[in-house]
Structures are given as C-alpha cells and as structure tokens.
C-alpha cells in the first residue's frame, strides 16, 4: 500500500494502516468523524482491493473517547482503524487493537493564520500560545515561525507527544502565562474551549473557510451561571453516565449521587451511549442534571438537558450553594470528585 492517500484536500497518512498486515487482520472496522466519513469510504475501497474486508462505522466518532468497541465486536473485527483523532482520550482499548490513522488538512491555513498573527501583534500582545487540532498538528512548527516573523514569542507544551495539540476537553498543551491564544481548527468549538480554559483573549483560525477572529465566551459563562443558580435550588437530580470508552465515569457518578443524597436531595443514576434529550425525557422529570459524559455537552448543547445541567467540576458550587469564585475551567475538571 502507498504511503499516503489524498481525498478532497485531506491527506491520509497510510503508514499506520500497514499495521493491519502485521496483525494478520482480515476484517477491520473503519471509524471516522462525520466530516471524514467520505475519507473512510475511500480507504475501505483501497483495503477491499487488498483483500481486507472493511466495514465503515455509520455511528458518530466524537473523539478518541469514542472508540466503536461494540460495533467492532458485533462484526468480529480483527482491528479498528480510527481516522482523524490522535489517540485515546480518557481510556485505552486493547482488544481488538485500535490503529489511529492521521488525516491532515492544510486548505487556507497559512494565509488565514498570517492575518491573525498580524492582528494579534497590532493589538500589542507579544507572548502567545498556539493550539491546533490533530488535522493541522503537523504544520505546527511552520505556524510558530510565522508567529515569530510577526514579532510574537510562542510558548506551549505537548499533549500526548504533539506540540500545541488541543482536543475539545483538554487544553493542557496551551501555556498558562501567554497573553493571547490562537487556535487553529474548523469552526469555533476548540477556540471556545481554549478561551474557557485559559481565560485569555483567544483568536480562532479556520483553515476550511478562512474565517478568523476573536471568540466571545460571555454568553457561555452567563448560561453556566444561570444553570448553576437554578441547580442550587434543585431538589432532584439525574446523574448521567456515558458508556463510551473514554467518557465512562461511573465511580464519579456514584460519588456525586452520594454527595447529593447526604444533603437530603434526590439523586438517581442513568447510563447512556449517546446522551439525548429524548432519552433524558423518557426517564421522567428532574429539577437538574449532572453530566459525567463529554464535558462539552454543557458548553455547546446545554438545551439537550430538559433542566439546568452541571458538570462534575462545577458541583462544588451547587453543594456550597454559592457561585463565588466560579471558574469556567471547572467545566473540564473531574479530579475534584475522585472517590475518597
Ligand atoms: S470533548 Fe468530548 S467528544 Fe471530544 S474528546 Fe473530549 S470527551 Fe470526547
């Protein structure tokens, strides 16, 4: 098999795919985010030509937290090829083996990034941190050079071995002491997360559309404070647990239930593959919800919950009955409620 595959502007690095030969895999499950399903289909056709039976997963693949283990077992797959994400998030899956296949996209990246670094420098910022999603991670060193050419100093760290890599729930690769943040990713999702995590002025660079500009977290924070205020008044809670490979947190959910019950509040547990409004409504009526699944549900889709929603790291405000000292970073924290 050749080293790369080009599909509509996307570059697939096929080197990891050779692993399936070493594994002797005859049947594989291909998993890809919705925007890369067409790439997965093209790769499936290549594999079929090589005599490998390839199924494309019809489900969503939200991240490295969402490995299609049940589907792979249902078809008795020898391996899972997971496209477009860098690796596991939250928890590993060992059987069947999971091979992460990089898919890169350059598009309008550099010309858009240059406009942004010029704007950021004009605003007087000097020390910046840069985040990219995995689709653009291989261009990171070139982005740093462009930022430096504009007079900026770049600070940052690795996530899982990749400089500046961000995923929707993890911004640890961004420097804590930067004056401004630049995030390279499609849409506003990752830039919003970075702004909430760092609290610093954040610009987004969209290599797919060429859109760019500062992000505004004020509506998100206002919604968080509104939901938390309502949850402080709540008497009954549903604690939602996900069954997804890297979003499963039953111990944290039980701890939350116990903490709420100790305060005389009604708290019940429910488990979902995908947390959906319909599934929540089917369970009856609750004053508030605690979401132990993907923390971004409370940021990007709070109306999915029929009542106010609280993430585990935010529960402390509900328990103490006060929003004093609220930090949006708590949206992403789970350690605060680890079992004693
Ligand atoms: S943000 Fe949500 S979907 Fe994305 S990797 Fe994290 S848990 Fe998974």
Q: Are 34 and 60 in contact (CB under 8 A)?
A: yes
Residue 338 domain-assigned?
Answer: no
On whether both 91 and 184 belong to a single domain, the answer is: no
| Ligand 1 nearest atom to the CA of residue 193, by list position | 1
175 is in which domain, residue-wise? Answer: 109-214
The rounded distance, in Å, linking the Cα atoms of 303 and 123 is 36
The overall average pLDDT reported for the chain is 96
Q: Which of 187, 189, 184, 19 is nearest to 104 (CA)?
A: 184
Q: Are 183 and 171 in contact (CB under 8 A)?
A: no
The rounded distance, in Å, linking the Cα atoms of 168 and 85 is 11
pLDDT band of 340, cuts 50, 70, 90: very low
In short, whether 168's Cβ falls inside 6 Å of ligand 1 is: yes
In the prediction, which pLDDT does 170 show? 98
Residue 337 scores a pLDDT above 80? no
Tens-place pLDDT, residues 47-68 = 999 999 999 999 999 999 999 9
CA-to-CA dists, residue 276 to 34, 131, 220, angstroms = 18, 30, 20
Q: What is the CATH number of the domain that holds 26?
A: 3.40.50.11840
Which residues, including other chains, have CB under 8 Å from residue 152's CB and lie 6 or more apart?
117, 120, 121, 125, 126, 127, 128
Q: What average pLDDT does range 185-203 have in this prediction?
A: 98
Q: What is the CATH number of the domain that holds 258?
A: 3.40.50.11860
21 alpha carbon – ligand 1 mean position (Å) = 30
Residue 339 domain-assigned?
Answer: no
The rounded distance, in Å, linking the Cα atoms of 302 and 133 is 23
In short, whether 62's Cβ falls inside 6 Å of ligand 1 is: yes
On whether both 131 and 96 belong to a single domain, the answer is: no
Residue 337 domain-assigned?
Answer: no
Residue 71 domain-assigned?
Answer: yes
Q: Which of 30, 161, 157 is nearest to 83 (CA)?
A: 30
Do the strands 127-132 and 153-155 form a parallel or antiparallel pair, or are they unpaired? Answer: parallel
Which tokens is 70 given?
A: 């049940």
SS (HEC) of 255-283: HHHHHHHHCCCEEEEEEECCCCHHHHHHC
Full-model pTM = 0.95
Q: Which of 31, 33, 64, 65 to mutate to test the pocket of ligand 1 (most atoms within 8 A of CB)?
A: 65
Instruction: Tell me which residue has its CA closest to atom 1 in ligand 1.
Output: 168
167 alpha carbon – ligand 1 mean position (Å) = 7
Instruction: Tell me which residue has its CA closest to atom 5 in ligand 1.
Output: 63
Helices first, then strands: H and E counts in the chain: 11, 18
Q: How many distinct structural domains can be found in the chain?
A: 3
Tens-place pLDDT, residues 131-184 = 999 999 999 999 999 999 999 999 999 999 999 999 999 999 999 999 999 999
The rounded distance, in Å, linking the Cα atoms of 131 and 318 is 32
In short, whether 171's Cβ falls inside 6 Å of ligand 1 is: no
On whether both 20 and 93 belong to a single domain, the answer is: yes
Which residues, including other chains, have CB under 8 Å from residue 33's CB and lie 6 or more apart?
60, 61, 62, 83, 84, 85
287 alpha carbon – ligand 1 mean position (Å) = 26
Residue 96 scores a pLDDT above 90? yes
Per the listing, tokens 């937290």 go with 65
In short, whether 318's Cβ falls inside 6 Å of ligand 1 is: no
Angle at the Cα of 251 from the Cα atoms of 248 and 252, rounded to 5 degrees: 85
Q: Which of 35, 86, 89 to mutate to test the pocket of ligand 1 (most atoms within 8 A of CB)?
A: 89
Tens-place pLDDT, residues 236-255 = 999 999 999 999 999 999 99
Angle between helices 189-198 and 218-232 (to 10 degrees): 70
Q: List, as one string, the DSSP characters of 178-214.
A: -SEEEEESSSSHHHHHHHHHH-S-EEEE-TTT--EEE
On whether both 244 and 143 belong to a single domain, the answer is: no
Residue 70 scores a pLDDT above 70? yes
On whether both 327 and 222 belong to a single domain, the answer is: yes
Q: Which of 148, 141, 135, 227 is nearest to 185 (CA)?
A: 135
The rounded distance, in Å, linking the Cα atoms of 303 and 200 is 27
On whether both 9 and 98 belong to a single domain, the answer is: yes
On whether both 86 and 167 belong to a single domain, the answer is: no
Which residues, including other chains, have CB under 8 Å from residue 74's CB and lie 6 or more apart?
none
The rounded distance, in Å, linking the Cα atoms of 254 and 331 is 19
Q: Which of 103, 119, 148 is the last residue of a domain?
A: 103
Q: Which of 180, 214, 248 is the last residue of a domain?
A: 214
On whether both 12 and 72 belong to a single domain, the answer is: yes
Residue 336 scores a pLDDT above 70? no
Q: Are 64 and 85 in contact (CB under 8 A)?
A: yes
Tens-place pLDDT, residues 71-82 = 999 999 999 999
In short, whether 196's Cβ falls inside 6 Å of ligand 1 is: no
Tens-place pLDDT, residues 259-291 = 999 999 999 999 999 999 999 999 999 999 999
C-alpha 318 chain-centroid distance: 25
Q: Which of 103, 125, 157 is the last residue of a domain?
A: 103
In short, whether 165's Cβ falls inside 6 Å of ligand 1 is: no
């Amino acid at each position: 098999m050749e080293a790369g595959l080009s599909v509509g502007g996307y570059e697939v690095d096929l080197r990891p795919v050779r692993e399936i030969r070493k594994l002797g895999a005859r049947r594989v499950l291909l998993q890809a985010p919705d925007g890369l399903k067409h790439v997965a289909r093209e790769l499936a056709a290549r594999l079929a030509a090589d005599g490998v039976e390839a199924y494309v997963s019809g489900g969503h693949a939200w991240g490295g937290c969402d490995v299609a283990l049940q589907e792979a077992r249902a078809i008795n797959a020898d391996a899972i090829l997971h496209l477009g994400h860098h690796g596991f998030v939250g928890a590993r899956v060992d059987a069947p083996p999971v091979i992460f296949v990089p898919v890169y996209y350059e598009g309008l990246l550099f010309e858009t990034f240059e406009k942004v670094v010029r704007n950021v420098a004009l605003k007087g910022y000097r020390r910046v941190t840069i985040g990219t999603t995995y689709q653009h991670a291989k261009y990171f060193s070139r982005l740093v050079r462009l930022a430096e050419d504009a007079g900026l100093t770049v600070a940052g760290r690795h996530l899982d071995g990749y400089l500046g890599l961000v995923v929707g729930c993890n911004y640890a690769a961004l420097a804590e002491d930067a004056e401004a943040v630049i995030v390279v990713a499609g849409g506003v999702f990752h830039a919003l997360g970075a702004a909430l995590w760092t609290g610093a002025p954040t610009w987004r660079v969209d290599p797919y559309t060429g859109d760019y500009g500062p992000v505004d977290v004020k509506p998100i924070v206002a919604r968080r404070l509104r939901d938390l205020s309502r949850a402080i008044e709540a008497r009954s809670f549903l604690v939602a647990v996900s069954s997804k490979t890297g979003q499963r947190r039953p111990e944290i959910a039980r701890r939350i239930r116990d903490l709420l019950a100790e305060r005389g509040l009604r708290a019940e547990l429910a488990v979902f593959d995908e947390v959906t409004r319909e599934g929540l409504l089917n369970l009856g009526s609750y004053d508030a919800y605690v979401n132990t699944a993907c923390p971004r549900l409370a940021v990007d889709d709070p109306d999915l919950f029929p009542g106010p929603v609280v993430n585990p790291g935010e529960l402390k405000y509900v328990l103490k009955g006060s929003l004093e000292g609220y930090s949006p970073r708590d949206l992403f924290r789970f350690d605060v409620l680890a079992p004693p």
